[in-house]
Structure 1
Amino acid sequence: MNVASILKSKGRAVSTVRPNATLLDVVKKLAPKKIGAVVVVGDSGRVDGIISERDIIRAVADHGVHALGMTVSEVMTRVVVSCQEMSELDELMEMMTKGRFRHLPVIEDDALVGIISIGDVVKYHLAEVQLEVSAMRNYIATG
């Protein structure tokens, strides 16, 4: 299964934020949507970074409550690992495990077209495994 299949099922909506937004602005986006990261998009519409719960926690640990007034550009992860629609689940699992992150923006032709979370990867990987198990059981049962 590839990213395009996942996006077809889950949708392509991505929560974004501007680099000049505050961390408080981000927290107010993350909490009600029950998401763990937002993509930082600059004036050109290109991905400038990503900011996750972990980035915010680190900022609060370093700066205390004053961190909530800091801008996203001061805290965001600037080197964004991304994937493409043709990327396969195994590839995503490897990237996320090695990089120790939970969100991958999906970029095609320099445009943000979706986001994949570790939860998406696990959900669709389990579906693949269950399909394989079912096929094996049918094969064994019918000889």
Structure 2
Amino acid sequence: MQTASQLLKQKASQSILSVAPHSTVYQALQLLAEHNVGAVLVLDEGKLVGIFSERDYARKVVLAGKTSAVTPVAEIMTSRVLCVPPSATASECMALMSEKRIRHLPVMDGDKVLGVLSIGDLVSAKIAEQQFTIEQLEQYIYK
């Protein structure tokens, strides 16, 4: 079973995308679109203070009648961010994400952000693990 740390090392892009709390929602949306991701961390002087996702935008800006060009991210971000340590297993991460109905999970080592795992990262890891198991079983059967 892979750990969160191992999964982060396998990601194509290991950069941590973030915006400041005073950034506008529009600026955050531009970053999401530029990198084709669904969420971005909100960091204040390197400290994790929230996460901004497409879901936040849809529910707290559009439906609330706010304007993305002037609304600061801090006003609508999710400030209670669920995180995991680098030692968390892929199964533990997936269970947490399913239970809490979230799609992005920061990996933290103390106060330091190591990266973010998406539900897609975890599904890909699970598929690879199952494929490995199938191959091992096929080799065992055909020997």
Q: TM-score, normalised by structure 2?
A: 0.94
Paired residue secondary structure (1:77): coil
Mapping of residues 90-129 of structure 1, within 5 Å: 90-129=91-130
**Which residue of 2 is the match for residue 15 of structure 1?**
17
Unaligned runs of 5+ in 2: none
Letter aligned with residue 111 of structure 1: K
> How many matched pairs?
140
Report the Cα offset of residue 24 of structure 1. 0.4
Confirm or deny: 8 A CA contact 1:40 1:50 kept in the other structure.
Answer: yes
- 1:5 to 2:6 alignment: yes
The whole-number CA distance in structure 2 between the counterparts of 1:90 and 1:68 is 39
Question: Over residues 81-128 of structure 1, what are the superposed CA-to-partner deviations in whole Å (9 max), with x where a residue is unaligned?
Answer: 011211111111111111111000111021011110001001111000
Q: Distance in 1 between matches of 2:39 and 2:102?
A: 10
Runs of 4+ displaced beyond 3 Å: none
Contact 1:7–1:114 under 8 Å retained in 2 = yes
Q: CA deviation at 1:13?
A: 1.2
Structure 1 gaps of 5+ residues are: none
Structure 1 residues 1-143: aligned runs within 5 Å? 1-10=2-11, 11-43=13-45, 45-58=46-59, 59-64=61-66, 66-142=67-143
Cα distance between partner residues in 2 of 1:12 and 1:81: 20
Using the alignment, how far apart are the partners of 1:38 and 1:129 within structure 2? Answer: 30
Question: 1:53 is aligned with what amino acid?
Answer: E
- TM-score under structure 1 length normalisation: 0.94
Q: Secondary structure at the match of 2:50?
A: strand
List per-residue Cα deviations over 1:5-58 (Å, max 9, x = no partner).
111111531100000000000011001210000000012x11000000000111
> Could you say what secondary structure the match of 1:50 adopts?
strand
